[in-house]
Structures are given as structure tokens and as C-alpha cells.
Chains A and B, each alone.
Chain A
Amino acid sequence: MTGRIFAALRTLPASGRIGLALVILWLLIAALGPVIAPHSPGAFVDESVFSGMSRELWLGTDYLGRDVLSRLLWGARYTVFLALGAAMLAVVTGTSLALVAAIRGGWIDEVLSRSMDTLTSIPSKIFALVLVAAFGSSLVLLLVIMAVIYVPGNFRIARALAVNLISLDFVQVARARGEGTAYIAWREILPNMIHPLMADMGLRFVFVVLLLSGLSFLGLGVQPPLADLGSLVRENISGLSEGASAIIVPAIAIATLTVGANLLIDALKPGARS
């Protein structure tokens, strides 16, 4: 297993290695951020607001004189873990529904496919605004809302993959043996579509990070006193006219995470390795 991972790493193009490094860096920050943060995220460390980078405060201070670095290290966990959770929930739900639709066929497939098509016809940010307006935006709700938004996209891909597999001989044999839906889904079909599904989950992760930060930037995502990376951009928006690092740093931080993940997924695509 480790041998295969190292072999895969060796064939990864430079862009993929950069992507992998960035993703690992952000996972580490999300997990360990609060431990390595020099200050508490709510502590006022400096008299001056929007101060620039210095030896004591590496990334300067925010609009209240708090340490930008510490707030970043604390905020990353909301962005990364909410997005990971939502992406996983979306893929597990979407794929389960897709397997049921593909294996059972008939009216179940018809109803599921038609409802998912309807949901994909609502632009994701617009859908998110309607859901947040109706239900609010606690952390759990945000996770569920973002999972719901990305279920239909995953359903489409997983259903297309499963439908192709079902026509193959080994599935037909299992059916002829009299195996049930759950057995066929779990033992015959799922193992054969796991790689494209993982790639799709990576993409959903990028989408969720962008959507969540966008929502928080609009003031509709993670609510104070908690702050994810998008909230950090929002709360420091008044520092934009003086070019404060407090607004630029969190924005760049989100971009390094999403761009990194995107580069990694692209490099892992079959046929991308030369």
C-alpha cells in the first residue's frame, strides 16, 4: 500500500506535488492550528488596528487589534472540516441514492433522476441563499445545507457510472444468483467506481470551500463569535482601502487551499500523467 502511494507520488507532475503539499499543509493547520497559534483568537494583542506585518505579529492585526495569524490558524478548522464533512455527506448520500436508482430502475429511477435534475437547475449560491434564509446558519445547518446542494451533482455522476457497470457480466451473474440490491451495490458495483467517486468528492470539497467562504463573506455563513476564513475577509473589509494584510491574507489562504486541491485532483486524473 505505502509502496503504491510512493509510486503514485513519483509519477505526479510538479503541479500535482504543489497541490498535494498545499492540501496536506491545510489539513495540518486545521488539525493543529489552535495548538500552534501564538494567541487566543479573541485576544486584543495590539493597540493599533490593521497594523502591517512585523516580527512580533507576523501577519499584522485585524480591525480590532487582534492577531491575524492566530485567527487564521483557528478559522481554518471551520472551513476545512465543514467542507470535508459536507463533501463526504454529499457523496455518501448522492451515491447511495444513485445506486438504488441504477439497480432498481423503473419508477424509482425515474422519480429520483427527475428530482435531482430539478435541484441541479437551481444555481448553487442561489440555492444556498434560499436555504439559509429559511433555516438559518448554525454550523450543523451549514454542513447539511451544503451537502444537500451538492448531492444532485454527485448523484448524476454516480448513476452514470453505476448504469455502465450494471450491464457488465459480473453484475448480471450476481443478479442471476439472486443477490439483493444491497449486496449488488456494495460488493459488485461500488468497488468498481470508487476512484472516480473519490475524484468527485475532491471536486465537491473545492466547491464547498468556495461556497462556504462566499456565504461567510456575505455574512450568511459561519456566525460570530466563530469565524471561518471567509468571515475573516468579511470582518476586515473596511481595511481594504489601506491595503491591510488582515483582508488579503485570509483571501489568499482560501485560494491556496482550493487551488491546491484542484491542481492535485487534476494531476490524479487518469491520463493526466505523462
Chain B
Amino acid sequence: MARSENSRPAWLRIAPLILYRFASSLLTLFLVSAVVFTISGLLPGDAAQELLGQSATPEQIAALRHEMGLDRSAPVRYFDWLTSIVTGDPGVSYVANMPVRDIIAQRLPNTLVLAGITAVISVILALVIGIVSAINRGGKIDRVLNIVTLSLVATPEFLVATLGVLIFSVKLLWLPSISLAPDEASWTETLRSLALPVLSLTFVVVAQMARMTRAAVVDQLERPYVEMARLKGVPFRRIVLFHVMPNAIGPVVNAMALSLSYLMGGALIVETIFNYPGLASLMVNAVTSRDMPLLQSCAMIFCGVYLAMMLVADVIAILANPRLRA
């Protein structure tokens, strides 16, 4: 019995696990969409009334309600809404009077650029900080880094951002404090205007990531095989790079995917403070103007990305599990 289990190729044992995890993410996303629609679509009262204002006649309101489909039952409205989101055409923005799809298509690439650059920089920084503190665990460097990351985790994003503006663009005059839309500026200008938003977001993300990396590496360093390698006289640098890291890579990448989800909350603040034309600042504007179709689409994109990152983290954990791989 055990033998026949082992003779199956590895991917046959891993594939069902990943498929199961994928299906469960899809189910969660479906449930999340129901929550988002219930809160933003069904509960807040009458959108038609609100759009027309107090002076509208009951007939006008009834006509608009019919036009917007508000006179149908809640489940029907939900599935219509879900279909429109899934097919990528979630209707027209109340405020801008433009298809939501076009508005988002304009903004999404900007946020992806910001998040992408931040992710690359913070992953590298977090690896260095995490490994250095894990190697020196209990020592002076570790304790200092612990206090620093612990404080950074609890620092509001706008403090980091305002201090960044104050130091680099007000006092030192190195960088612009307002970012430009990429198509209006040259390459170097774009990069310079991205510097402060990226710096602020990196601070937000890197602390959590470094703490989780440290935990994953420490967990490996305390295993018996490290003791064994030390007793055999393997140089410590070699132990860390060739013995510990290959084993820690699964948990470390898992930790990074989890902490990258902090990017979304950070982006809301950072994009607003720097006037960055991204998806997060678009969503904030949608809340202010109560533009529900736009808000719902932005919320679903963020929730989808978040769930995708959790999925990636779990799949990597599955793939990195040596008991399944062998």
C-alpha cells in the first residue's frame, strides 16, 4: 500500500492539493463578492433617489429605478452584477459618466508599476534584514532590528510619506513631492516622481516581511541538521546559503506573499498623499462621491488580488513541502 503511494509520480500527488486550494479560493471570492454587493448594493438605500436629489418627483424616481434595474429582486440584481463583473463590463460610473472598465484600465497599470517596483525592492531588503537578524538571533543586531521593525509595523503610512517629502523634497530638494501621470512625463521624470511613493510603500511592507522571514530562517537554523553540519565543520556562511536557505525558501516565499498584501492598504494612503493616479486613489474618490459601480469594481479587484496572493503563498508552501515533492 505504502509502496504504491510512493511509486505515483510527485505531480499526481501535488496536483489535487493545488486544484483543491484553487477551487476553495474561487469559492471564497464568490462569497466575498456576495458580501461586497450586499453591503454596497442592497443595504444603503435607494441609489435612484440619491442621484436625483430631494426635488425629484416619484415618477422620475420610479423611471430611473426601472432603468437602473433597482426594482428587481435582490438575488436577480446580485447575479446580474456578478455577471457584469466577471465579463469585465461592470457598467457606467455614476459620477464620471464613463464606462467603469475604461476608468480602471487607465488607472490599473499605474498601480501595478508602483506595486511591482515596491515588491522587488522590499523583497530584497526583507531577505537581507531577515537573514541577518536570524543569524545573529538574540544578539545586539537582532535586538536592534527587532525594535526597528516592530516600530515600523505600527507606524502610520502617512508619517513615513510626510517625513519622506519633508526630507527629500522640502529640505534637500532632491525629489518632486507630487507624482505625474507616466504619459505626461519623460522616463527620468517618471522615475524621480516614483521615488518617494515607492520609498514610503517599501517602509510599510518591508518590516512585516522581514519579521516573517526571520521567523522562517530561525525555524530552520534550530533544526538538528544545522547542528550536524556545524559539528562536521562546515563554514557557517556555507550552512546558511546551501543548507538552510534551500529549506527555508518555501516558508520565506510564503511569508513574502502574505506581507505583500499590506501593499494594498498602504497604496490607499500613499497614492492619495502623492496624488498618484492609481487604482487606490480612484477607489478613495469613489467612496467620497459614493460612486457605487466604480467602488464595487475597485473593491473586487483588490479582494481578487489579495486572494490570489494568499493562493500563491499556499501553493508555494505545498510545492516546497519535501514530503510531497520526493
Contacts and interface: CB of A to CB of B under 8 A. Distances in A.
Contacts of A240: 162, 165-166, 170, 177
Contacts of A217: 156, 158, 269, 272
Given A123-B261, A134-B44, A266-B150, A129 B284 contact: yes
Nearest to A115: B31
Given A15-B147, A133-B286, A118 B31 contact: yes
B250 to A, nearest CB: 22
Interface residues of A, number: 45
Contacts of A213: 156, 158
B48 interface: no
Given A125-B264, A133-B40, A218-B284, A262 B150 contact: yes
Nearest to B158: A217
Contact of A124 (B158, B170, B265): B265
B154 A259 contact: yes
Interface string B144-183: 0001001101111111001101100011000001000000
A114 B157 CA distance: 32
Contacts of B272: 217-218
A255 B158 CA distance: 10
A260 to B, nearest CB: 8
Nearest to A13: B143
| Chain B CB within 10 A, most for which of A134, A240, A261 | A134
Contacts of B264: 123, 125-126
A30 interface: no
Contacts of A230: 156, 158
Interface string B125-152: 0000000000000000000000100110
B264 to A, nearest CB: 5
A258 B266 CA distance: 16
Given A118-B28, A129-B299, A220-B284, A214 B261 contact: no
A248 B288 contact: no
A237 B273 contact: yes
Nearest to A136: B44
B303 A126 contact: yes
Contacts of B313: none
Contacts of A99: none
Interface string B282-311: 011011101010011001001100110010
A262 B306 CA distance: 25
A129 B158 contact: no
B162 A255 contact: no
A129 B44 contact: no
B74 interface: no
B268 interface: yes
A241 interface: yes
B251 to A, nearest CB: 20
B36 interface: yes
Contacts of A132: 287
Contacts of A129: 268, 283-284, 287, 295, 299
A114 B34 CA distance: 14
B290 A126 contact: no
B18 interface: no
A186 B159 CA distance: 42
B154 A241 contact: no
Contacts of A135: 43-44
A218 B165 contact: no
B156 A121 contact: no
A258 B156 contact: yes
A255 B155 CA distance: 5
B62 interface: no
Interface in A98-146: 114, 117-119, 121-126, 129-135
Contacts of B302: 123, 126
Contact of B151 (A126, A254, A263): A263
B220 to A, nearest CB: 19
22 contacts: A15-B147, A118-B28, A118-B31, A121-B306, A122-B35, A122-B303, A123-B264, A123-B303, A125-B264, A126-B299, A129-B268, A130-B39, A217-B156, A218-B268, A220-B287, A237-B273, A240-B177, A243-B170, A251-B158, A252-B159, A258-B155, A262-B150
Interface of B: 28-29, 31-32, 35-36, 39-40, 43-44, 147, 150-151, 153-159, 162-163, 165-166, 170-171, 177, 261, 264-265, 268-269, 272-273, 283-284, 286-288, 290, 292, 295-296, 299, 302-303, 306-307, 310
